[in-house]
Structure 1
Amino acid sequence: MESKPSIPYVVGSKSPMAVAINCAAKAGEWIKSRLGMVKDLNTKFSPQDLVTDVDKGAEAMIRKLIHTHFPDHEILGEEGVAPGAEASAAAVTEAKSAEYLWIIDPIDGTTNFVQGFPFFCVSIALAYKGDVIIGVIYDPTRDEMFVAEKGKGAYMHGNPTRVSQESALADSVIAVGFNPDRKVAAPINLKGITALSEQTRSLRAGGSAALHLAYVAAGRLSGYYEVNLSAWDSAAGALMVAESGGIVTDTTGHPYDIGVRNLIASNGKIQDQLLAAIKAAGATGC
């Protein structure tokens, strides 16, 4: 049986990792330069689901840079998909069979960006036949570049990232999210948030799924829970957590893949406790 290497081969003049880092850095630099200068602010699925001219411009920039080196690769970007959970899920299902698929969130944390709240990032992942092999998350306000390559570890500015060592949920700081789908996802998330608030050391809601995952990988958070995410929210960060020694599953404990929408990530030591707490709260979203 033929084995699949972490990155099958280099295509074009640059490695996929180099292209991903270059895309994230260039887009992040431009996004940072646009802080406080949004010209076109609109909503998508709900009044809480924002999109700006900067999101669209950053995605166009990333798409162009990727296709310069890999013109035959497919790209799944948030701003190229119709709003709403059904459209997102359908787009991932259609795209996941591609040999090479780039998964892009040009600004994860758009509401934060609009508000000038410095917790947003560029998230870029590359999947090979549905399996994520590269993840890059760049926080332009802190100039922090998180990278991961399947089978080769995860790093932040060249330093290996490792998950935290808490073994009890009571000693853990967990990230949660307030989903923009206020009719279906938000009530489920709130059930989980209420349960976790009673069982953890503390909760954090930064407003960027990708950065939450990067922080779990770096040991800054013990875990992260949220329902109704999309592949562009989680693909890069999920790989980082796994390559840093952690675990990412859906909310029922099944292994992560890019189609997972309801997610729990942790240092691994508290994964079963998180899963049990969310199940008991009726907050799996399944």
Structure 2
Amino acid sequence: MSAPYAREQAIALSTVLKASLLAQKIQAELVGSGGVEKKDKSPVTVGDYTAQALVSALLAAHFPSDAIIGEEDSADLQRPEQATVKAQIVRLAGEAMREELPLADEERAWADVKRVERGDTEWMAAIDRGNSEGGAKGRHWALDPIDGTKGFLRGGQYAVCLGLIEDGEVVLGVMGCPNLPVDPKQPEGDKGALFVAVKGQGAFQRSFTSPTLTRITMNSLASLSAASFCESVEAGHSDHGTNARIAELLGITRDSVRMDSQAKYCSIARGDGDIYLRLPVSATYEEKVWDHSSGSLLVAEAGGIVSDMHGLPLDFSLGRTLKGNKGVIAAPREWHKQVIEAVAKAVGEEGK
């Protein structure tokens, strides 16, 4: 008998791989042009929309009853001044559909999708399938088509992130990191890594071109003083000053590793770093489910605990945001409690 969620895992790997290869192509072809701003003024690229359209199309073909909680919608693209951007999305989506994946089994997953001719209307509708409000019941795929847009634009780290939430619980997570080295010991070697975790089945990594999954685990630390932080590049995403105080309280002297996107989760899950801190810089900000679903499961399956800054489990049952939580802390299971205590002390000193 196949393992639970084996089919979902296979389809998720196939769609994240295609979206990751698309992102690589778009980064080479369009970075510096083709951007569009959303209402919140954060930068977003053609790649976000095109990747969401592709992922949505494949999920609809294989799991038509499942909902999608996607980051994007096509509202901005319907404006006349965005006609060029929309045309780029339709062209790139069509080209991606015609290109074959390196592995035959993953390519076969797209057979039914490729038989359907799609134009502007169909691709915009695919993007808008990501409009689910989520909730505590049913199956919802949480999608961040290109997480770490600023990293994408500066040539740094970014990730295609897809998680399956079933009755409010994350049961599957797949991430593609096009710029992350497959072997962290060879940072200038082959780049492009896929990460996958199924609840209760462990955490794994593979390259873009090989089906072989290799189990990954977090570092085993003799003491927290040997640990290193992994945190956001953008100070607007996490409080770097408080992070530094937490490191001091824990006796950590190693420099923090800063990178964009859920690639941070992937890095600590395989031992590139040890602790991920994302402390809120705004009292009203609510973390988005697509920013943490797949990464939090990966770390949990690799031997860590992911919670909010108060030690509470992340609650994915409340809609499109983690409105019941504040901040995100990921750490090795045996050291998580001490990290939470240091966070509380540091935040308390600042009167937050």
Given that residues 92 and 231 in structure 1 are in contact (C-alpha distance below 8 angstroms), is that contact kept between their aligned partners in structure 2?
Answer: no
Q: What are the residue-to-residue correspondences of 1:177-192 with 2, within 5 Å?
A: 177=232, 182=236, 189-192=239-242
Quote the offset at 1:169 in angstroms.
2.6
SS in 1 for 2:27: coil
Runs (5+) with no aligned partner, structure 1 = 1-5, 83-90
Deviation at 1:277, TM superposition (A): 1.8
SS at match of 2:164: strand
Contact 1:125 1:235 (C-alpha < 8 Å) held by counterparts:
yes
C-alpha distance in structure 2 between counterparts of 1:212 and 1:233, whole Å: 11
Q: 1:40 to 1:254 in 2, by over 3 A?
A: same
CA distance in 2, matches of 1:163, 1:135: 17
Distance (Å, rounded) in 1 between the aligned partners of 2:277 and 2:270: 16
Match of 1:85 in 2: none
Whether the aligned pair in 1 keeps the contact of 2:246 and 2:346 (CA below 8 Å) is no
Amino acid at match of 2:243: I
> Aligned match of 1:135 in 152, 168, 173?
173
Q: TM-score, length-normalised on structure 2?
A: 0.67
Report the CA distance between 1:179 and its aligned residue. 5.2
Partner of 2:113: none
* Corresponding residue to 1:264 among 313, 319, 329: 329
- Which runs of no fewer than 5 residues in structure 2 stay unpaired? 76-129, 180-190, 207-212, 281-286, 317-321
Task: Pick one of 228, 231, 246 that aligns with 1:196.
Answer: 246
Q: RMSD in angstroms over aligned alpha carbons? A: 2.7
Distance 1:249 1:92 in 2: 26
**Does the 8 Å contact 2:160/2:177 carry over to 1?**
yes
**CA separation of 1:285/1:275 partners in 2, compared to 1, >3 Å: closer, same or farther?**
farther
1:105 paired residue number: 144
Match of 2:78 in 1: none
Query: Aligned residue for 1:230?
Result: 288
Residue 121 of structure 1 corresponds to 159
Would you say 1:245 and 2:303 are equivalent positions?
Answer: yes
* CA distance in 1 between partners of 2:142 and 2:351 (Å): 23
Cα deviation digits, residues 197-256 of structure 1 (max 9, x gap): 534222121011x11111121111111010353211111011111111111111101123
Q: 2:266 aligns with which of 199, 214, 217?
A: 214
1:22 lines up with 2:24 in the alignment: no
Per the TM alignment, residue 192 of structure 1 is displaced from its structure 2 partner at its CA by 2.2
The 2-side partners of 1:237 and 1:167 are apart by: 25
Identity of aligned residues (%): 28
Note closer, same or farther for the CA distance 1:45–1:171 as it changes in structure 2 (3 Å cut): farther
Describe the SS at the equivalent of 1:79. Answer: coil
Corresponding residue SS for 1:140: strand
Q: Give, in whole Å, the separation in 1 of the partners of 2:60 and 2:54.
A: 10
Measured at CA, do residues 285 and 213 of structure 1 come closer, stay the same or move farther in structure 2, by a change above 3 Å?
farther
Residue 50, structure 1, aligned to residue 43, structure 2: yes
Offset of residue 44 of structure 1: 3.8
How far did 1:70 drift?
A: 0.8
Q: Report the AA paired with residue 169 of structure 2.
A: D
- CA 1:42–1:169: 2 relative to 1, 3 Å: farther
Q: Secondary structure at the match of 2:256?
A: strand
CA distance in 1 between partners of 2:308 and 2:216 (Å): 23
Deviations 1:84-114 (A, max 9, x none): xxxxxxx999412241100011111110111
Identify the residue that residue 195 of structure 2 maps to in structure 1.
Answer: 146
Q: Identify the residue that residue 172 of structure 1 maps to in structure 2.
A: 227
Structure 1 residue 45 displacement after superposition: 6.1
